[in-house]
Chain A
């Protein structure tokens, strides 16, 4: 009873809440980091150094009037933010934050579940999120959101190809689709896949920037051109859901990148025994640190780079990244066969 129901339930509760809190603080972190990059202070008013800003934001967004445009398609308009938020959250089911640890005399795994097609699950669930964006643009019955959502769908679909192709080379390396097994494989091979598969890593990072609609690929919400993008007509909590979904997706992508390329919960250089004194650090701390580095880089990029134009972005995706990913995949396969 405890093992089959209570513990999974508690884990889901913790992961879900931790994620939502992380997402709100992600917004604050982004504002702070960008502010520092731009020689400003960022939010400073709510609480010391503005640390209560997310609370204030949440209250504000909940109290705002929730407007549905008269000419909008009401049902779809309501469903769209939910469709974009939910996939971002349920992906966490298979992300391993750590190995099995003993807690209160019990063996507890630091992940909700480990299914044998974990990676496939992530790729397929994450791609459902794009429906939220398309439907939002369509249901708003307005030109700017429509243009933005068309951009978004084309962008997400094309970048999913190269991201998935880069993941396939990881599958070739580890011989498994299970997230936990992929980390275990990195442990036994003694090297993070980032160093073995630098091209796949690069493609994944660029592709995931595009997939999460982050700068320099934040086309769907290019505020300068499309006045806010696909969520122009949204207000209040529904707008917040889109916003949160974007940040939740960023965290998902960082977690996936950490698991696949940076050895998940493993300490640096898992193959070097001389560094085993680092083992006193709890494994999940490594996971969080690595994910944080990714998130920081995402924010950093946003503060630095201008935005690609839509056609240039598609060109980059189809003409550079996808061929590169395919070549990388073929080379990985050949090397793998030659070695074995």
Chain B
């Protein structure tokens, strides 16, 4: 991440007060329990106050973009699993839709409904992981285990659906790999009932908790304009009051047929980002219920050529992943069976840019709260 005045420089001596004090440089990560993966933050501290920070990324770089340029179009689906590994199905959907857009393939309505359901289940799973780790960073460890208990149910649903629990490879270009297993719809609805109850349970533990309020209110304030300037998306952007949601603004899958609200915050602090995501739990459940009710019968794969080889051209397509706007930019030269250029706009990477301005001036204890509040996944940041 670009930075003027590297935090790794020799600490400056602060003159003032009664004594000369030295700034302390502390290295957080890449193996720190609360940087959620291999994020490294170099902090310059004045006492416990963060004077400046340097966010160092790249510890999980696997070259997925370059790798994709040497794989055929179907093989890439599997690579997209490895980006946001807590919301793999969303990445799958995003990629497949981009290729479909490039090739102008019509996806059957049933497949689009299933995609919507999977995306929303995945959003709940991802938010479960977020609320768990975020609360854990602030010291409320019970929420962590509660949230993982519910996430487990989603993983079970996915396992039944596509055989995997984390990296699903659950989409195909033009539709689905297989139809829904029998009885799956009932289980999903059952899960919706459980989840509705459990979200209330998390909120009981946190939303009106005095300590939680003190730890999150007016911490990491960011205005809507600043958030837009930083390129934030998803809950961090909506927490600042900007009602931008790709699902509403540029509907994909079957979102144009769903009724749901886009929750926005007012102040743009950690608490608002928390509230936005808590409301998204409920909206996701609402969408799943609608989609389950309205799911049509019919084919699950559209008319896809045997050899996927899009005509020369380029396209950008974005979807709303649990972390924010996940976009794919793909160039095809029309000659080979692999993309000429494959580029991802990962929400985690862009949201992480907000970290440095956010943590400046806060205390060291807020740093972990803010990392949690941005909800980044390092697999997606580094790719």
A-B complex is real: yes
Binding site for B on A (CB under 8 A): 34, 37-40, 143-144, 147, 151, 215-216, 218, 222-227, 303-312
Number of interchain pairs (Cβ within 8 Å): 80
Is B48's CB under 8 angstroms from A310's CB? yes
Enumerate chain B residues within 8 angstroms of A303, measured Cβ to Cβ: 141-142
* Cβ-neighbour of B137 out of A151, A224, A310 (below 8 A): A224
- Listed A/B pairs (11) with beta-carbon separation below 8 Å: A40-B145, A216-B211, A225-B34, A225-B364, A227-B32, A227-B33, A304-B142, A305-B140, A306-B135, A306-B138, A308-B214
B window 347-370: CB within 8 A of A: 363-368
Binding site for A on B (CB under 8 A): 24, 26, 32-34, 48, 135-142, 145-146, 149, 205-206, 209, 211-212, 214-215, 363-368
* Cβ-neighbour of A222 out of B24, B139, B205, B209 (below 8 A): B139
In the complex, how many angstroms separate the beta carbon of A28 from the nearest chain B beta carbon? 18
Given contacts A222-B139, A225-B368, whether A310 and B363 have CB atoms under 8 Å apart is yes
In the complex, how many angstroms separate the beta carbon of A129 from the nearest chain B beta carbon? 23
Enumerate chain A residues within 8 angstroms of B48, measured Cβ to Cβ: 147, 151, 310-311
Is A224's CB under 8 angstroms from B211's CB? no
Is A308's CB under 8 angstroms from B368's CB? no
Enumerate chain A residues within 8 angstroms of B365, measured Cβ to Cβ: 222, 225, 307, 309-310
* Cβ-neighbour of A224 out of B139, B212, B214 (below 8 A): B139
Enumerate chain A residues within 8 angstroms of B34, measured Cβ to Cβ: 224-225
Is A309's CB under 8 angstroms from B214's CB? yes
Complex CA distance for A282 and B137, rounded to whole angstroms: 45
Enumerate chain B residues within 8 angstroms of A226, measured Cβ to Cβ: 364
Enumerate chain B residues within 8 angstroms of A215, measured Cβ to Cβ: 139
Complex CA distance for A143 and B363, rounded to whole angstroms: 16
Is A306's CB under 8 angstroms from B211's CB? yes
Is B205's CB under 8 angstroms from A304's CB? yes
In the complex, how many angstroms separate the beta carbon of A271 from the nearest chain B beta carbon? 36
User: Told that A38-B146, A303-B141 touch, could you supply 10 new A-B pairs with CB distance under 8 A?
Assistant: A39-B145, A143-B24, A147-B48, A216-B139, A222-B365, A224-B137, A304-B205, A305-B211, A306-B209, A307-B365
Is A37's CB under 8 angstroms from B142's CB? yes
Is A39's CB under 8 angstroms from B140's CB? no
Given contacts A144-B26, A216-B211, whether A306 and B139 have CB atoms under 8 Å apart is yes
Complex CA distance for A303 and B144, rounded to whole angstroms: 11
- Residue of B whose beta carbon sits closest to that of A305: B211
- Residue of A whose beta carbon sits closest to that of B213: A306
